[in-house]
């Protein structure tokens, strides 16, 4: 009886906990549901605030859909086009893109593909009607096979795939619809005309909205995006060098602030991931009309080449950033000896990058003093500071043999410390001690599983015990910093080439002064460098 009562009490307790847990679960779900409207409104506001053009584009799409829907809603227009008016709505949904170049590319591809497919389909239909009913079906099937296979193979040609892939797809779709329908429908010519007219109306509405009403140019986006890359790389270099020479307290404070994103990574991330984006914008920009005051063709592909040079420049910054996360670090007391020249050098490089970005943004040539004497002085000071500490890089003859101590510790952990006495003076060099320790571990029959587990740790102790390895990580950091200065020449050459081909205006000191005055007049709002960094959604 007692056992049965205990079991029943346990079952009652379990049954009592079930509704409590369900209630708690429902409360959690209810709290999350209450936060959904607030989070949705905040997301909608943030997306529109990042780029107000998104709001304008959404309104343009809504107006375009309303206009083409009149072909279906108004009786006089519906009698003229019939149910084919729905093709105009489909065209607006598919063709109308964010930028004018993208809309032109898709609109002209769609129109050209439809026109060629309709012409070829009527030619096939004309030849097929001259034959018998049985041979007509065979001829249409053979034409579908030959045209479909040929058009699909042409999509693999790089030039066609890059510029006219969407047009080939529309060609295949339209050709098959018209050709197959012509076998069962008598008035296929009338249906094709109506569909072509409705598609043309849809494309016309899209081009009208894209080119005349608050147009967004792909070329301008590519131009501004390229100029912004220089500022991001400049911020990455400055932040990387400042973090490398920061104090331990500042480092701990940054590690604890997990809510903030890494400014170093954010600076070069956009540059490294911009290859496909640059090529797409350059392609769409090549379709756009010459809307600027200049009549010559703008070299959009030169922006792609500049992007490739900047991407290789960014790889060096990635390696520089990796020096901050290596396992073996130079002591901060040693870093402090080279802090001032490195920070000066990074500041001069960042200054040069910002000048290059401004020259592209304002379409003017670079300043003749972009590689100023301050940059060369900073390089000279860094070289002088490194040469003043030769013992840090070539080692000292009277250094303490810490590797032998590591060997003693390893023997003590294996249980042979009491039986094997090792004299520090008996070992001549770190290298000989390391080789002797490795040979004993390989040839000794008493090596246990615990010794094998200690090998990675002991090898790390052996590496860190070498005196020159304390300065070796900084030597890698300094060499990468000098490599950045060397690659800066390649970036300057590419920017100058872009300015020559694009006919940038000559550099004038008054232009720079005018830009500074314009920025000072807008101090009512924070400068772009003071705003929080946000990723672009386009």
For residue 523, pLDDT over 70 is answered with no
Rank 163-167, 382-386, 503-507 by mean pLDDT and report only the highest: 163-167
pLDDT in tens, 187-244: 777 777 778 888 889 999 999 999 889 999 998 999 999 999 999 999 999 999 999 8
The reply to whether 172 and 308 lie within a common domain is: no
Distance between the two ends of the chain, CA-based, in angstroms? 74
The reply to whether 291 and 151 lie within a common domain is: no
Q: Which pLDDT band, with edges at 50, 70 and 90, does 48 fall under?
A: confident
The position carrying tokens 């590519």 is 222
HEC profile for 369-400?
Answer: CCCCHHHHHHHHHHHHHHHCCHHHHHCCCCCC
Q: Which residues pair with 505 in a beta bridge?
A: 364
The reply to whether 205 and 285 lie within a common domain is: no
pLDDT at 314: 92
Please give the Cα distance from 45 to 353 (Å, whole number).
33
Within-domain flag for 407? no
Q: Find the range with the poorest average confidence among 249-258, 274-283, 423-432, 443-452.
A: 423-432
Task: Sort 337 into a burial class: Cβ within 10 Å, 0-12 / 13-18 / 19+.
Answer: middle
Between 437 and 280, the higher pLDDT residue: 280
pLDDT at 465: 53
Tokens (6 digits) for 132: 């018998």
Average pLDDT of every residue of the chain: 76
Summarize the confidence of residues 385-410 as an average pLDDT: 55
pLDDT at 252: 57
pLDDT in tens, 393-405: 665 444 444 434 4
Within-domain flag for 387? yes
For residue 435, pLDDT over 80 is answered with no
Comparing C-alpha atoms, which of 442, 303, 285 is closest to residue 360? 303
Within-domain flag for 296? yes
Summarize the confidence of residues 59-81 as an average pLDDT: 87
How does DSSP classify residue 448?
-
Handedness of CA 266, 271, 274, 278 (dihedral sign): positive
For residue 140, pLDDT over 90 is answered with no
Residues ≥6 apart with Cβ < 8 Å to 221: 99, 281, 538
pLDDT at 527: 33
The reply to whether 182 and 240 lie within a common domain is: no
Between 379 and 257, the higher pLDDT residue: 379
Rank 21-30, 244-253, 426-435, 499-508 by mean pLDDT and report only the highest: 499-508
Please give the Cα distance from 435 to 173 (Å, whole number).
72
Q: Which pLDDT band, with edges at 50, 70 and 90, does 439 fall under?
A: low
pLDDT at 514: 47
The position carrying tokens 């209630």 is 23
Within-domain flag for 30? no
Within-domain flag for 187? yes
Task: Kindly give the interhelix angle for 188-212 and 53-73, rounded to the nearest 10 degrees.
Answer: 150
Burial 237-258 (b: 16+ CB within 10 A, else e): bbbbbbbbbbeeeeeeeeeeee
The reply to whether 198 and 237 lie within a common domain is: no
Q: Which pLDDT band, with edges at 50, 70 and 90, does 451 fall under?
A: very low
HEC profile for 124-163?
Answer: HHHHHHCCCHHHHHHHHHHHHHHHHHHHHHHCCCHHHHHH
pLDDT at 266: 86
The reply to whether 364 and 244 lie within a common domain is: yes
The residue count for the chain? 538
The reply to whether 201 and 306 lie within a common domain is: no
Percentage of residues of the chain with pLDDT beyond 90: 27
Please give the Cα distance from 352 to 344 (Å, whole number).
12
Within-domain flag for 126? yes
pLDDT in tens, 5-34: 444 554 555 556 666 666 666 777 777 777
Q: Which residues pair with 364 in a beta bridge?
A: 505
Within-domain flag for 439? no
Quote the longest CA-to-CA distance of the chain.
108
- Neighbouring CB atoms inside 10 A of 476's CB total 16
Alpha carbon distances (Å) from 506 to 222, 365, 512: 22, 5, 12
pLDDT in tens, 460-504: 555 555 545 567 888 889 899 999 999 998 999 999 999 898 888
Cα 163 to chain centroid distance, Å, stands at: 23
Within-domain flag for 477? yes
Q: Find the range with the poorest average confidence among 124-133, 256-265, 384-393.
A: 256-265
Comparing C-alpha atoms, which of 91, 84, 138 is closest to residue 113? 91
The reply to whether 274 and 171 lie within a common domain is: no
Q: Which pLDDT band, with edges at 50, 70 and 90, does 83 fall under?
A: confident
The reply to whether 191 and 314 lie within a common domain is: no
pLDDT at 455: 46
Alpha carbon distances (Å) from 479 to 301, 382, 475: 33, 11, 6
pLDDT at 282: 92
pLDDT at 381: 86
pLDDT at 367: 80
Domain count, the chain: 2
Alpha carbon distances (Å) from 132 to 135, 185, 188, 281, 511: 5, 17, 19, 52, 78
Q: What is the DSSP string of 395-438?
A: --TT---HHHHHHHHHHHHTT-TTT----GGG---HHHHHHHHH
Percentage of residues of the chain with pLDDT beyond 70: 70
Please give the Cα distance from 450 to 432 (Å, whole number).
24
The reply to whether 194 and 226 lie within a common domain is: no
pLDDT in tens, 334-353: 888 888 889 999 999 999 99
Range of the domain at 114: 54-212
Q: Is the pTM of this model over 0.75?
A: no
The reply to whether 234 and 183 lie within a common domain is: no
**Backbone angles phi and psi of 323, in degrees to 5:** -65, -20
State the Cα torsion 441-443-447-452 to the nearest 10°: 40
The reply to whether 335 and 208 lie within a common domain is: no
pLDDT at 151: 93
Q: Which pLDDT band, with edges at 50, 70 and 90, does 255 fall under?
A: low
Residues ≥6 apart with Cβ < 8 Å to 23: none
Q: What is the DSSP string of 450-462?
A: HHHHHHHHHHHHH
């Amino acid at each position: 009886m007692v056992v049965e009562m205990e079991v029943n009490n346990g079952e009652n307790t379990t049954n009592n906990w079930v509704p409590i847990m369900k209630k708690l679960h429902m409360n959690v779900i209810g709290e999350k549901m209450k936060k959904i409207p607030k989070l949705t409104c905040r997301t909608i506001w943030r997306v529109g605030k990042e780029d107000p053009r998104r709001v304008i584009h959404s309104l343009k799409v809504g107006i375009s859909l309303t206009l083409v829907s009149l072909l279906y809603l108004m009786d006089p227009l519906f009698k003229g086009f019939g149910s084919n008016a729905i093709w105009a709505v489909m065209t607006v949904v598919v063709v109308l893109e964010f930028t004018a170049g993208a809309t032109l590319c898709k609109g002209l591809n769609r129109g050209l593909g439809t026109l060629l497919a309709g012409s070829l389909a009527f030619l096939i239909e004309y030849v097929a009607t001259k034959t018998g009913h049985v041979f007509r079906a065979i001829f249409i099937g053979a034409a579908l096979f030959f045209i479909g296979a040929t058009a699909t193979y042409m999509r693999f040609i790089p030039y066609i795939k890059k510029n006219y892939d969407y047009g080939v797809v529309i060609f295949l779709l339209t050709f098959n619809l018209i050709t197959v329908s012509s076998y069962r429908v008598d008035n296929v010519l009338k249906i094709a005309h109506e569909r072509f007219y409705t598609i043309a109306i849809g494309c016309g509405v899209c081009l009208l909205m894209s080119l005349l009403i608050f147009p967004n140019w792909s070329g301008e986006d590519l131009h501004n995006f390229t100029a912004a890359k220089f500022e991001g790389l400049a911020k990455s270099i400055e932040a990387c060098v400042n973090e490398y020479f920061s104090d331990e307290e500042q480092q701990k404070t940054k590690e604890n602030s997990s809510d903030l994103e890494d400014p170093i990574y954010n600076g070069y991330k956009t540059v490294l991931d911009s290859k496909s984006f640059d090529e797409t914008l350059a392609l769409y920009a090549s379709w756009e009309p010459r809307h600027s005051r200049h009549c010559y063709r703008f070299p959009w592909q030169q922006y792609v080449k500049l992007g490739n040079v900047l991407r290789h420049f960014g790889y060096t910054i990635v390696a520089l950033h990796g020096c901050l996360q290596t396992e073996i670090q130079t002591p901060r007391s040693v870093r402090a000896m080279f802090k001032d020249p490195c920070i000066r050098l990074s500041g001069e490089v960042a200054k040069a990058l910002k000048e290059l970005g401004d020259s592209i943004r304002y379409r003017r040539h670079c300043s003749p003093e972009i590689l100023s004497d301050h940059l060369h002085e900073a390089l000279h000071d860094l070289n002088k500071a490194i040469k003043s500490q030769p013992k840090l890089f070539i080692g000292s003859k009277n250094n303490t043999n810490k590797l032998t101590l590591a060997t003693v510790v390893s023997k003590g952990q294996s249980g042979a410390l009491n039986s094997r006495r090792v004299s520090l003076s008996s070992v001549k060099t770190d290298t000989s001690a390391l080789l002797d320790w490795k040979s004993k571990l390989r040839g000794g029959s008493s090596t246990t599983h615990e010794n094998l587990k200690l090998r990675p740790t002991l090898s790390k102790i052996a590496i860190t015990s070498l005196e020159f390895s304390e300065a070796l990580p900084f030597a890698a950091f300094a060499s990468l910093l000098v490599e950045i200065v060397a690659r800066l020449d390649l970036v300057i050459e590419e920017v100058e080439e872009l300015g020559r081909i694009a006919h940038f205006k000559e550099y004038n000191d008054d232009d720079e002064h005018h830009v500074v005055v314009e920025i000072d007049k807008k101090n009512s709002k924070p400068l772009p460098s003071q705003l929080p960094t946000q990723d672009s959604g386009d």
